[in-house]
Structure 1
Amino acid sequence: MARYIFITGGVVSSLGKGIASAALGALLQARGYRVRLRKLDPYLNVDPGTMSPTQHGEVFVTDDGAETDLDLGHYERFTGRPATRMDNITTGRIYTNIIAKERRGDYLGATVQVIPHVTDAIKSFVLNGNDDVDFVLVEIGGTVGDIEALPFFEAIRQLGNELPRGNVVYIHLTLMPYIPAAGELKTKPTQHSVKELRSIGIQPDILLVRADRPVPAEERRKMSLFCNVRETAVIQALDVATIYDVPIAYHKEGLDTEVLAAFGIDPAPAPKLERWLQVVDGIANPEGEVTIAIVGKYTGLKDAYKSLIEALQHGGIANRVRVNLDWIESEVFEKEDPTPYLERVNAILVPGGFGERGSEGKILAAKFAREHKVPYFGICFGMQMAVIESARSLAGIEDAASSEFGPTKEPVVGIMTEWLKGNELQQRAEKGDLGGTMRLGAYEARLKDGSRIAQIYGSTEISERHRHRYEVNRSYRDRLEAAGLSFAGMSPDGLLPETVELVDHPWFIGVQYHPELKSRPFEPHPLFASFVEAALVRSRLV
């Protein structure tokens, strides 16, 4: 039977519950256990698909087409286990399902209430589908005390009583701030946070305390005393140089040992951490460095590109180099010459995005890369902008544009109205709902034999995750290929362009999908490894 670990947060948000959950999952996995990680999000949106990246960060897409919280990306990168739509749920999704059942009459006339109907739905989600794992780690989003999170806390409190004794452990992540004027680390915020948690019936078994400096033994004893937690279960979580050092740091502090002890598992198999040590060594001791420009529209919030940042670092690990990122707001190029910004970088990447704002700047970035032979990687929207640039500059289609920006005489990029998912035809209306209506999840593609991208993959058949509503118009294919832009990858039915590349260029590739979502520190995605290698080659030429 699976054992359950519930991870909650207190004091402030953004303490890193997702990283902590992923790191603990990795440590248990390193000891030979099978793990699954899930995220409970208290917000009322059905999913983060319609939320602005500046509010929520990136949307992580699973193979089965779910738009989920970015923490699921951490779970996948740390454990290698692919997430599914059953690993992330929101208040909005729970209430949508409950109201639909109420409208059908499934509750047989009962008054539908938060307790038991909402909490039962949460518990069902947590418990479902765990027969093949030893530990289920469940992260509760938000901070203890948030009103919208109360049903989730109540649900995990109930599970503590309903599951067999010894099958549930509660971990509470808090902040221990340093007050410069007093010259002290303060335990009071943690005490109050635990008091809030205990007031709703949950006694934490382990405290994971974030701090920017070592926590003295006396402060640990104080937190143990006032929070009713064993002294050995007060674990300091100090800042580290890279997130991939977190599992090693937590193991040194005894987190995984304390978790297993709380379950009565003693002795436990020793963890095998060699691959984590290799990754950290590769990051800490690079043999060179490259600078890559990220030309986007959400550059003020790096969480909007979380998986992209990690995938580039994985590419650096594969080439034993440090990857420095130069963040450039694409709108700048619509007012200023891109040359001073881009002539100093070794490669240019234009990531995914939506909307017209900043699009001309991204087109100019693609033009600079093409004309100056700088390695270019266009992902999703970045591929579309590169195609528009080639249409204008190489194929002579001066009015080339995307119908996403409004009516156009030359819709080189247009909205998709139907496509195949397996054997099922998917159809969308131009003015339909925005949420959950894109081409989402894993789709296969066929790569042209002998193309650069096929050589990088080492295969002509691939499967990658998608998240887009617009697509390059294949009716322009012949004109663009005659101008030197090869459609190197297509959907299996030959209807949807998946990849493009410039034939006469050191490295210029656009992909309609999001390869960053499948990159891992132990298995860098081949496109990112090749892109960083191309940047390294250019760094040696200039």
Structure 2
Amino acid sequence: MTRYIFITGGVVSSLGKGLASAALGALLQARGFTVRLRKLDPYLNVDPGTMSPFEHGEVFVTDDGAETDLDLGHYERFTGVSARATDSVSSGRIYSNVLEKERRGDYLGKTIQVIPHVTNEIKDFIATGDGEVDFMLCEIGGTVGDIEGLPFFEAIRQFGQERPRGNCIFMHLTLLPWIAAAGELKTKPTQHSVKELRAIGIAPDILVCRAENPIPQKEREKLALFCNVRPEAVIAALDLDTIYDAPLAYHREGLDQAVLDAFQISPAPRPNLTRWEDVHDRIVNAEGDVRIAIVGKYTQLGDAYKSIAEALTHAGMANRVRVRAEWIDAEIFEASDPAPHLEGFHAILVPGGFGERGTEGKIRAAEFARTRQIPYFGICLGMQMAVVEAARNLAGLADAGSEEFDREGRSLTPVVYHLKEWVQGNHTVARSKNDDKGGTMRLGSYSAHLREGSRVAGIYGSTVIEERHRHRYEVDMRFRTALEEKGLIFSGMSPDGKLPEIVEVADHPWYIGVQFHPELKSKPFAPHPLFADFVRAARDVSRLV
């Protein structure tokens, strides 16, 4: 029978519940257990797909096409377990499901209420796949006391009561602030947070306390006494140099042992932490530095490109170099020479995005990389802008652009168009510009066939790949011949040959654009081959400088 671990947060948000959940999942795997991680978000959006990256950070996409919270990226990177649509749910989705059932008459005329109908829907979601793994870790978004989160807290309280005794435990993540004037850590915020949690009917079994300084034994004992947990279940979560030290740090603090003790699993299997010791060694003992410019449009918020930043870190590990990624707002050089901003970098990466803002800057970045023979990696919109740049400056289409930006009747030649249909599995999906925005893109994992002898086929070591997509615009195949005659090769295509997946410049040290999002599949112990080879190319440039 699957055991359940519910992870809640208190005091303030952004303490790292997702990272703590992912690290705990990795530690349980290191002891030989199977795990799956889930995220329950209280916001009323059906999913984060229509949220601005400034509002919510990046949208993580699963193989089966779900747009989810970025914490699912942490889960995958730390455990290697591919997330599914059934691993992420929001209040919006829960209420939508309940209302759809009410409209169908599934409730047989009953009055629909938060308890039991909404809480039952949440419990049904939690129990999906029960019995598939040894441990199911469920993270509740937000903090205890948030009005939006109350149905979720009530649901996990009920779930814990309805399961056999000892089948569920609760882990609460809080903050121990350091008051510099007093020169001490303060436990009162954590006490109040636990008090509020207990008022809901949930008694935490484990406390994970974020702190800037080590927690003295006296404070641990105080927390244990006032929060009614065992002293050994008070776990310090100190600031780390890299998030990939989290499994080792939590193991030293005894988090995985505290969890097994709470479930009364004895004797506990010994952990094998070789994987994480190797990751630590590759980060600490890097043998050089590479500077990579990321030219994007959401650069004010690091979480907007979280998976790209982590994929570059993984690629650095693979090459035993430190990747110094510097974020540059594409708007800075939309109307000026990009050279002062991009000179000195060993490679340039242009990530995805939506809307016209910053696109001319991305086009200039692609041109700078192509003409200066600097490694270039274009992802999604970054690939499309590379194609637009080539169409303008190589194929002679001075007015080349994207249909996405032609909203005011300007005279553009759209070499990138709104994707109207594509093959998904055994059927064709059709879309129009007037469709709802949420969940209507080409989402999830799709196959691509690579040209024999191409650079990408050599990097992958295969001519058939599977990658995750999230886009509603596509490069127009009508311009393929003109572009290939000028050296921009369409080296990856959809299986039916209708949709371009990868372009590359043959006579360039490293110039590749991909329509998909390879960063979503990269892991510290399994770097994505495209990112690993991109950083290798940047390393080679750095050694020539």
Residue 241 of structure 1 deviates from its aligned partner by 1.0
Letter in 2 for 1:71: D
Equivalent position of 1:388 in the other structure: 388
Structure 2: segments with no counterpart, 5+ residues: none
2:51 is aligned to: 51
Alignment of 1:285 onto 2:285: yes
How far 1:340 moved relative to its partner?
Answer: 1.2
State the distance in 2 between where 1:401 and 1:409 align. Answer: 6
Q: Which residue is 1:417 aligned to?
A: 420
- Amino acid across the alignment from 2:193: S
* AA matched with 1:317: M
Deviations 1:168-192 (Å, cap 9, x if unpaired)?
Answer: 1100000000011111110010001
Which residue number corresponds to residue 102 of structure 1? Answer: 102
Query: Sequence identity, in percent?
Result: 69
* Corresponding residue number in structure 1 for 2:445: 442
Q: Does 1:359 align with 2:328?
A: no
Distance, in Å, in 2 between the alignment partners of 1:36 and 1:173 is 19
Please list, as runs of the form range in 1=range in 2, the aligned pairs for 1:98-497 lying within 5 A after superposition.
98-406=98-406, 407=409, 408-497=411-500
Q: Does 1:8 align with 2:11?
A: no
SS in 2 for 1:38: strand
Equivalent position amino acid for 2:278 in 1: Q
- For 2:65 and 2:269, the matched residues in 1 are separated by 36
C-alpha displacement of 1:447: 0.4
Q: Report the Cα distance in structure 2 between the residues aligned to 1:100 and 1:491, rounded to whole angstroms.
A: 36
1:8-49 per-position Cα deviation (integer Å, ceiling 9, x unaligned) = 000000000000000000000000001010000000000000
Deviation (angstroms), 1:347 = 0.1
Q: Provide, for residues 112-155 of structure 1, a one-character-per-residue CA deviation record: whole Å limited to 9, x for no partner.
A: 00000000000010011122200000000000000000000000
Letter in 1 for 2:46: V
The match for 1:526 is 529
Q: Which amino acid letter does the alignment assign opposite residue 511 of structure 1?
A: V
Report Cα offsets for 1:375-412 as digits up to 9, x if no partner.
Answer: 00000000000000000000000010000001544110
Kindly provide the amino acid, as one letter, of the partner of residue 231 in structure 1: P
Tell me the residue number matched to 1:71.
71
1:540 alignment partner, SS class: helix
Q: 1:513 maps to which residue?
A: 516
Aligned residue for 2:266, secondary structure, equals: coil
Distance 1:177 1:9 in 2: 15
Tell me by how many angstroms 1:429 deviates: 1.1
Q: Distance in 2 between matches of 1:84 and 1:275?
A: 24
Q: Which runs of 5+ in 1 are unaligned?
A: none
Rounded Cα–Cα distance in structure 2 between residues aligned with 1:253 and 1:419: 50
**What displacement does 1:354 show?**
0.5
Distance 2:379 2:422 in 1: 20
Q: Deviations over 1:212-248 (max 9, x none)?
A: 1100111111111111111111111111111110000
Task: Indicate the SS of the match to 2:18.
Answer: helix
In 2, Cα distance between equivalents of 1:128 and 1:440? 22
Q: CA deviation at 1:164?
A: 0.3
Q: Tell me the CA shift for residue 467 of structure 1.
A: 0.1
What amino acid does structure 2 have at the position aligned with 1:16? G
CA deviation string 1:53-108 (max 9, x = no partner): 00100000000000000000000010001000000000101111110110111100
How far apart, in 1, do the equivalents of 2:326 and 2:127 lie?
A: 44
Moved over 2 A (4+): none
The residue type equivalent to 1:318 in the other structure is A
What is the DSSP-based 3-state SS (H/G/I as helix, E as strand, rest coil) of the residue aligned with 2:15?
Answer: coil
Q: CA deviation at 1:441?
A: 0.2
Superposed CA deviations along residues 445-469 of structure 1, whole A, max 9, x for unmatched, are: 0000000011000011001000000
Structure 1 residue 343 displacement after superposition: 1.0
Residue 35 (structure 1) aligned with residue 38 (structure 2): no
Q: In 2, Cα distance between the equivalents of 1:72 and 1:326?
A: 25
Question: How far apart are the structure 1 equivalents of 2:265 and 2:539?
Answer: 48
Distance 1:214 1:366 in 2: 47
Greater alpha carbon shift after TM alignment, 406-415 vs 355-364? 406-415
Look up the SS of the partner of 1:248 in the other structure: helix
1: CA distance, partners of 2:532 / 2:148: 42
- Deviation (angstroms), 1:159: 1.1
Question: What is the alpha-carbon distance in structure 1 between the residues aligned to residue 340 and residue 283 of structure 2?
Answer: 29
Tell me which moved more, 404-413 or 97-106: 404-413
Post-superposition CA distance 1:478-515 (Å, at most 9, x none): 00001110000110000000000011111000000000
Q: Distance in 2 between matches of 1:128 and 1:369?
A: 48
Matched length:
542
The superposition leaves residues 423-449 of structure 1 with CA deviations (integer Å, 9 ceiling, x where unpaired) of 111011111100000000000000000
User: Shift of the alpha carbon at 1:335?
Assistant: 3.8
